[in-house]
Amino acid sequence: MSIIGANIKNIRAKKNIAAKELSKKCGLSESVILDIESGRKIPNANMITAISKALGVQIDAIEPSYLSDYYEEEAEKSAPTYIKPTASIGKVPERIEPKANTLSDAINKAIRKIPVLSKLTPGKKVPFEGDIVDYKFEPVFQGKTNNVAGENFIYYMVSDNSLSGSRILKNDLALVFLTDSINDKDMVLFVYNNKVFIRRLKAIDDKSVLLYPDNPDFEVLIANRKDLQLIGKVVRVEFKI
């Protein structure tokens, strides 16, 4: 059972709401509710919002926020109040309160803003502002995003179904680490003949590489390394539910 599913089931039980009743209130089928509670189905953001409204609780009660945990930790670590010493005997010491961290400071420490691109404009540095359609925010753990150190990430909207064999479909979001350090069998984002591709890479020799899809409906590319503009390697893909 998932944390989200367990929370929904516990809240529903405390409020004495049957799964069938909850399904009617939130517009989902009873089987979907039960699948979510058992962990067989992962709810998307719209489902969680609808269920939280139907149960009359905040979203954080169902899906605990990473940021709320972060703020609580920061509050515990904040500097204690201290007493400013004074020279006058019998005078009440002045209390000095520490400066509170602002919300923006906490957010900057806790998350990283990553641009979402729908295209790559030839000749422009990645990410080019004109190619950015949105931003996503990723939690940062020990200075790393998705266990990869560094600041250089983009999300790229997959443009075709050439990797459907890996369950990567058009309009899924590929998280790309911007680097030219590529190894055999890495899934890479690159530009070739002014077209953008995501393919797996295999070296043929020092000069040539094989760039292959896992959908037989798409062609395999054989290219000279110097003709490729390597953007980076795909480290994660967000699938649509």
Dihedral Cα 166, 139, 156, 180, nearest 10 deg: -90
Q: Is residue 86 one of the residues assigned to a domain? A: no
Reply yes or no on whether the pLDDT at 92 is more than 50. yes
- How many domains would you assign to the chain? 2
Nearest one of 121, 14, 141, 133 to 70, comparing CA atoms: 141
Instruction: Say yes or no: 44 and 124 in one domain.
Output: no
Question: Per-residue pLDDT averaged across 170-199, rounded?
Answer: 90
- The pLDDT assigned to 69 comes to 41
Residue 42 lies in a domain: yes
The answer to whether residues 155 and 221 belong to one domain is yes
pLDDT of residue 112: 78
**Does some domain include residue 201?**
yes
Q: What is the CATH number of the domain that holds 136?
A: 2.10.109.10
Instruction: Name the amino acid, one letter, at 233.
Output: K
pLDDT digit string (tens) for 17-32? 999 999 999 999 999 9
As a whole number of angstroms, the distance between CA 217 and CA 210 comes to: 17
Share of the chain above pLDDT 70, in %: 74
* pLDDT on residue 93: 53
Give the domain extent around 195.
111-238
Same structural domain, 158 and 218? yes
Same domain, yes or no, for 55 and 139?
no
118 and 15 within one domain: no
Identify the weakest region by mean pLDDT among 69-73, 115-119, 138-142, 227-231: 69-73
Q: Give the residue from 217, 221, 164, 165 showing the smallest Cα distance to 191.
A: 221
Q: Is 96 a member of any domain?
A: no
Q: How confident is the model at residue 200 (pLDDT cuts 50, 70, 90)?
A: very high
Question: Is residue 214 situated within a structural domain?
Answer: yes
pLDDT digits (tens, 9 = 90+) for 18-75: 999 999 999 999 999 998 888 888 788 888 889 989 999 887 788 764 334 433 444 4
Cα radius of gyration (the chain): 25
Q: Name the pLDDT band for 106 (thresholds 50, 70, 90).
A: low
